Amino acid sequence: MKSHPLDALAQQLVAPDRGILAADESSGTIEKRFQAVGIPSTEITRRDYRELLFSSPGIDQYLSGVILYEETLSQIGRDGRRLVQILEDRGILPGIKVDRGIKPLPGQPDESVTEGLDGLHERLAAYRGQGARFTKWRAVIRVDEERPSSLALKANAEVLARYAGLVQEAGMVPIVEPEVLMEGSHDLDRCETVTTAALDQLFMALKAYRVRLEALVLKPNMVVSGTQCNRPASVETVAQATVQTLARTVPAAVPGIAFLSGGQSPEQATQHLDAINRLATRLPWRLTFSFSRALQEPPLRMWAGKEDRIRQAQELFSQRVRLNSLASMGRYHPDLEKVA
């Protein structure tokens, strides 16, 4: 079979022992995260925080890429280099969130579709010119007794596929993120059913739009019980359900799967990733991380905007990245947290 230059880039993103940092919080989301630890959200604090993360020691051994928000792409760090340059100098690929967030889906109360296709073709060329090598688009699937509707699954799959096709044409690798939310009282079986339906729809749409499966990275949720479920599933059960769901839905042509953390605690997300990789020894794709909160919570809390805490915050971040790298190879142990 003929290979395509983008295939190698997709493989680089999910290379063994590497994962992806999602640092693409939009202005509203980062403001919420900053507020929780008492930091005002300004262009400068956002830049300082991201510079802190990107210059943390040792992360270049474990991160293949970082997903950025548009603002970050053009920001210049305190050391005079563009933040993108800091990543490039360390061999870490810069990526960019290109969706414009979720909007209500007409006629479907409490359901959404992600927007951002208008003008995307032109924006992609500009992002590529600014150094972006890959992109991300997130669809949000809400779960309760009546949701998701088949319309919500279809509408989101359709825009994800159109997005992915445009990105590949622009010479970048699309990360395709259909997130089934953890929020809710649903159990693990319900999450499995919904995740299966979302991924089935997604791959149908990707094929219909002739998206090259070898040149994308899938960013799904793990199959977990809802945050308010009164029968939380064990680590083993999460790993088994996640692996089984992916094995049933994701074609072997896809080079890698990089999970979102979705509101799990940092330790929980790492434990799940590890258990998944211990089970998934004969599966065709690499299984790694593309976490935001599960990587950033400890350093953000430590930093809290204080100049004299930068070093400690960086150490916590580097440690989290390293532990997840181990988990992506099934080599993590909770005892390593104590050492940290």
Rounded to the nearest 5 percent, the helix, strand and coil shares of the chain are 50, 15, 35
Count of Cβ atoms closer than 10 Å to residue 109 Cβ: 9
Tell me the CA distances in angstroms from 166 to 55, 144, 157, 191, 218, one per residue in order.
32, 32, 14, 30, 16
Q: How far is the CB of 210 from ligand 5MM (least distance, A)?
A: 25
Q: Quick one: 7 or 277, whose CB is closer to ligand 5MM? A: 277
Options 158, 177, 192, 297, the catalytic residue: 177
Q: Quick one: 6 or 68, whose CB is closer to ligand 5MM? A: 68
List interacting residues with ligand 5MM (CB under 6 A): 22, 24-26, 29, 97, 101, 138, 179, 260-262, 291-294
Which amino acid would we find at residue 210? R
Q: How far is the CB of 299 from ligand 5MM (least distance, A)?
A: 14
177 is catalytic: yes
Beta bridge partners of 93: 65
CB 275 within 8 A of CB 235: yes
Q: How far is the CB of 113 from ligand 5MM (least distance, A)?
A: 14
Q: How far is the CB of 24 from ligand 5MM (least distance, A)?
A: 5
Q: Quick one: 7 or 127, whose CB is closer to ligand 5MM? A: 127
Q: Quick one: 45 or 253, whose CB is closer to ligand 5MM? A: 45
The closest alpha carbon to 9, from 85, 72, 95, belongs to 95
Options 51, 158, 179, 219, the catalytic residue: 219
Q: Under DSSP, is residue 299 helix (H, G, I), strand (E, B) or coil?
A: helix
154 is catalytic: no
CB 21 within 8 A of CB 325: no
Q: Phi then psi for 180, rounded to 5 degrees?
A: -85, 115
Catalytic amino acids?
A: 177, 219
